[in-house]
Amino acid sequence: MPTHSYVPHAPGYVDNEGPKIVTSRFGYEDSFTLERSQATGGYQALRTALDKTPAEIHSEVREATLLGRGGAGFPAGIKWGFLPPGKFPYYLVVNGDESEPGTYKDRLLMERDPHQLIEGCLITCYALGLQQCFLYVRGEMALAQERIAQALNEAYAEGYIGKNILGTEFSVDVVLTWGAGAYIVGEETALIESLEGNRGMPRLKPPYFPAAVGLYGQPTIVNNVETLSNVPWVTENGARQYKTYGSEKSPGTRMFAVSGHVKRPGVYEVEQGITTFRDLLYGDNFCQGIRDGHELKMFVPGGGSAPWFFEEQLDLPLEAGPVGAAGSMLGSGGIIVMDDTTDAVKAALRLVRFYARESCGKCTPCREGTTWEERVLQRILDGEGRPSDIEMLLDIADNISPGPYPVAADPAQDLDAIPFPPKQTTICPLGPSSVAPITSTIRRFRHEYEAKITKRDPIPVAAEKAVS
């Protein structure tokens, strides 16, 4: 019998009212055990799935419009359809390298309900005819690794994984791997490189999807933890039931990790498309508003890579389309709220520094540009800034992400939103992500930058000669 370490759950989940699709067991102290899982309907969906044909499961998921929860929001059912026929073996890779700043929903899913994730993997493997699944968990998530390992052992012992699952012809192996703490490995091709034992650097595109050429050169489906955690519910309750939640384009629920200056930060499962940012941040059932005595200054709507939103965008629904049109993205579902005590330049620096440290070093604009941005911001904060630094920052940003960068509308300045996504001179979006805090803050809070700039620009030599 496996022995469970009853390390108390890490904080983060707030037990609120509302539909629970993936967080249904989060309230239990022993939610991660096989006993609790089975007692609350765990692995029931697997049995249901095994009674159906793989094609039925696939069409159910496609029908449910289960959107990818990793950041790009690509429908899982359609992604699964990209597997080229006859190029066996296929692999399933679970992207558990959640390291987007402000995002911690996958960690909770892995820590609190690993069996739900494993069940989702198994159903996906069954639906697509895969026999090997790799669970890639972020290096720092020790508790998640431990609990998934325990859960895998339990599931193997119980016959849910391995040869002839539940007495059928269906066999799957699930392999747990963990990273070494590199943010870039959250990018799916870099994750595959890391899985193969190489340095985690994004691969060249094309091919654009690992579904064509992925792990070990084979067609590979890479899905996010939350996406797969939805699969058992969809299988068990069907697409029609799933679509009763959320909006038409974005059905179901979605987990949002709210952090920052709200009264009740935490992870919430909310209905997509119906709930607005205002509901989430101010609703009594959710974050209950900005901390007392302060007002919202800005918030990051979808993980550190997303351009920032402000008061005016609060009434946008939590849905990819409208948020993208408004100049940002829901991304990984991490919302960082900042109130009026926040220094915009410092906040931008904090995020830019993250990207500078985490750049994999492959593409020149990202490797050199992010660090340069960081150092200029630091210099401005150190009181060594020059007036030309602001334009220079925007120009460096333009060299990483050419053209207008997505940004929220600013009615006060009569400026329109520039829709997502940005263009990029790099292979992956890490470099352009570092631009988001800079363009967002300079556009809205240029006066804060200017207030910090104390030095003068050097007089251009040519101009000086012209004067004398």
Residues found near another protein in the complex (CB under 8 A): 182, 199, 204, 356-365, 367-372, 375-376, 379, 384, 392, 396, 398-400, 402, 423, 425-427, 455-456, 458-462, 464-465
**What's the rounded Cα separation, in Å, for the pair 144 and 94?**
13
Q: How far is the CB of 138 from another protein (least distance, A)?
A: 15
**What's the rounded Cα separation, in Å, for the pair 171 and 166?**
9
**What's the rounded Cα separation, in Å, for the pair 336 and 421?**
20
Q: How far is the CB of 434 from another protein (least distance, A)?
A: 11
Residue whose CB is less far from another protein, 61 or 348: 348
Residue whose CB is less far from another protein, 171 or 454: 454
Q: How far is the CB of 461 from another protein (least distance, A)?
A: 6
Residue whose CB is less far from another protein, 77 or 406: 406
- 172: helix, strand or coil: strand
**What's the rounded Cα separation, in Å, for the pair 95 and 422?**
23
Going 389 to 395 to 396 to 401, the CA torsion angle's sign is positive
Residue whose CB is less far from another protein, 277 or 354: 354
Q: How far is the CB of 422 from another protein (least distance, A)?
A: 12
Query: How many CA atoms does the CB half-sphere of 261 hold within 13 Å?
Result: 17
Q: Residue 63 has which token pair? A: 């029908």
**What's the rounded Cα separation, in Å, for the pair 402 and 29?**
49
Q: How far is the CB of 72 from another protein (least distance, A)?
A: 18
Residue whose CB is less far from another protein, 218 or 371: 371
> Which long-range contacts does 158-167 make (Cβ < 8 Å, 24+ apart)?
158/34, 158/43, 160/43, 160/46, 160/118, 160/119, 160/122, 161/118, 161/122, 165/46, 165/50, 165/122, 166/46, 166/47, 166/50
Residue whose CB is less far from another protein, 243 or 379: 379
Q: How far is the CB of 457 from another protein (least distance, A)?
A: 8
Residue whose CB is less far from another protein, 48 or 425: 425
Q: How far is the CB of 289 from another protein (least distance, A)?
A: 37
Residue whose CB is less far from another protein, 7 or 459: 459
**What's the rounded Cα separation, in Å, for the pair 265 and 251?**
24
- Please state, as a whole number, how many other Cβ atoms lie within 10 Å of the Cβ of residue 425: 16
Q: Residue 25 has which token pair? A: 């067991």
**What's the rounded Cα separation, in Å, for the pair 304 and 311?**
18
**What's the rounded Cα separation, in Å, for the pair 411 and 401?**
25
Q: How far is the CB of 309 from another protein (least distance, A)?
A: 27
Q: How far is the CB of 259 from another protein (least distance, A)?
A: 24
Residue whose CB is less far from another protein, 1 or 204: 204
Residue 327 neighbours by CB under 8 Å, 6+ apart: 307, 406, 407, 408, 409, 417, 418, 419, 420
**What's the rounded Cα separation, in Å, for the pair 205 and 383?**
42
Residue whose CB is less far from another protein, 227 or 305: 305
Q: How far is the CB of 271 from another protein (least distance, A)?
A: 35
**What's the rounded Cα separation, in Å, for the pair 19 and 254?**
10
Residue whose CB is less far from another protein, 84 or 361: 361
| Residue in the block written with tokens 């799916």 | 188
| Residue in the block written with tokens 């699944």 | 133
Q: Do 200 and 90 meet the contact criterion of CB atoms below 8 Å apart?
A: no
Residues in the chain: 468
Q: Residue 142 has which token pair? A: 């020790």
Q: How far is the CB of 389 from another protein (least distance, A)?
A: 9
Q: Residue 235 has which token pair? A: 């299988």
Strand partners, 99: none
Residue whose CB is less far from another protein, 328 or 370: 370
Q: How far is the CB of 415 from another protein (least distance, A)?
A: 23
